[in-house]
Amino acid sequence: MLRANGAHAAWLLGPGTQEAAVAAEGLAEELDRAVHARLDQQRSGDGQGIERLEGGTLVYASLEGRAAGMLLGAESSTGERAQAQRDLARLLDYDRWRPVLAEVTKQQERTDEPVESIALRLSHQLERMTGVEVCVAVPHATGVRVAGVSLRSDRRLLGTLLERGSVLDRVALGKAEAMAGVPNPLGKTTPDRRRGADPAFVCPIPGDRTPLGAVALWTPGGGEPTGPLLADFRRAIEASGPRLQNAIERRDLAEAALRDPLTGLLNRQGLDEACGLVGTTGATLIYADLDHFKALNDELGHPAGDSALLHVSRLLLSAVRAQDVVARIGGEEFAIWLPGAPLARGREVAERIRQALAWSDWQWQGKRRPLSASFGVAAWPETSSTREGLPSQADAALYEAKRGGRDRVALAPLSQKTEDA
């Protein structure tokens, strides 16, 4: 990168990386120290910049606590500086992905490679092949989720549930064929922070009977790759099929005992296992119970009740982060597990879900029917000194919400230790 840009020196600083400085002969130590100090200061925020120095022009970029810079000649052109910034941005993006790529490399020789690893490898392979952003989506019990993204894509999309009916969702489920020029393949509600309305090409990952998933590529104009690249592109997707098929079958078999057969959400056992994975950073547990569900079943019948439960489960999944957990733990009772979230966030999430449910458009036999729910929220360590104490506290808070009139959020009382603090 130093040679390609004709730079005098280059620097890379940041956590989890080997800090490096590469320079041509004759770089003054004072200049080197000054650049290190500037880049170290820049690490506190994300961005790019250009700064005139006595020894030349410093072009720098920063991303998530990392910073990189190149020292160009004082007479460098605008185009040269812009190219240097693009290269620095790519370097930083690659550097933050290195732990993920290392883990993916280790997975390649495994016969039990998980779905996410295969999807991630396919995304990276297609990006190297085409030079564009790539996203891979795979169906799951609760819907189609983003299982892999390439280096240029927004990695925060990983695990995101796609909007139902979006093009990528439909193609992954075999409800639509490959499509070109798609402006929002993941759906308008998916929080992709990098993609705007740029068109994409979407195609299925073929399986024995139905697609195993789908791929989105943001090619120029959203068209399918052409020329000699087309055969390699199709071959790469087809080659991933058998590995992905085996991984999906292993995943589904392992999760069968942990999921509710109606909604696809985790059951109580699955929730208990998920809660046991949290470290010592704290967490929030929300219990939600549909109001007047028995009356709904009695009036409209059990098929209507099942439809309402499916509607609520999809709404809950769309309201939480990819790392959060949603479970059905009783007939009309749900749980939302927010690892690392304080009580205030739990209350915010519960209130947002309550309002979304009240305004949601659930219909039965062509007629809109109102739905509401009551919520109980408990947090560790704010209301409970232990994780094990959260279920009873969330249940008690849920009872208070119902006793207070339903369709509301109630919080467990703060622990004495929290009040004293």
Domain spanning 268-420, CATH architecture: 2-Layer Sandwich (3.30)
Say what the pLDDT of residue 242 is. 92
Tokens at residue 382, please? 């704010």
| 9-102 shares its CATH topology with 268-420 | no
Class of domain 9-102 (CATH, top level):
alpha beta
Could you tell me the end-to-end alpha-carbon distance of the chain, in angstroms, rounded to an integer?
Answer: 52
**For 113-256, which CATH superfamily applies?**
GAF domain (3.30.450.40)
Say what the pLDDT of residue 44 is. 76
Interval 340-378: pLDDT, tens = 899 999 999 999 999 999 998 899 998 999 999 999 999
The string over 283-312, giving b where at least 16 C-beta atoms fall within 10 Å of a residue's C-beta and e elsewhere, is bbbbbbbbbebeebbeebeeebbebbbebb
Say what the pLDDT of residue 5 is. 83
Residues in the chain where the model's pLDDT stays below 50: 109, 193-194
Interval 110-148: pLDDT, tens = 567 899 999 999 999 999 889 899 999 999 988 899 999
Say what the pLDDT of residue 168 is. 96
In the chain, what are the domain boundaries? 9-102, 113-256, 268-420
Say what the pLDDT of residue 416 is. 66
Tokens at residue 393, please? 């506290």
Say what the pLDDT of residue 405 is. 93
Compute CA 41 distance to the chain's CA centroid, rounded to the nearest angstrom. 29
Say what the pLDDT of residue 406 is. 94
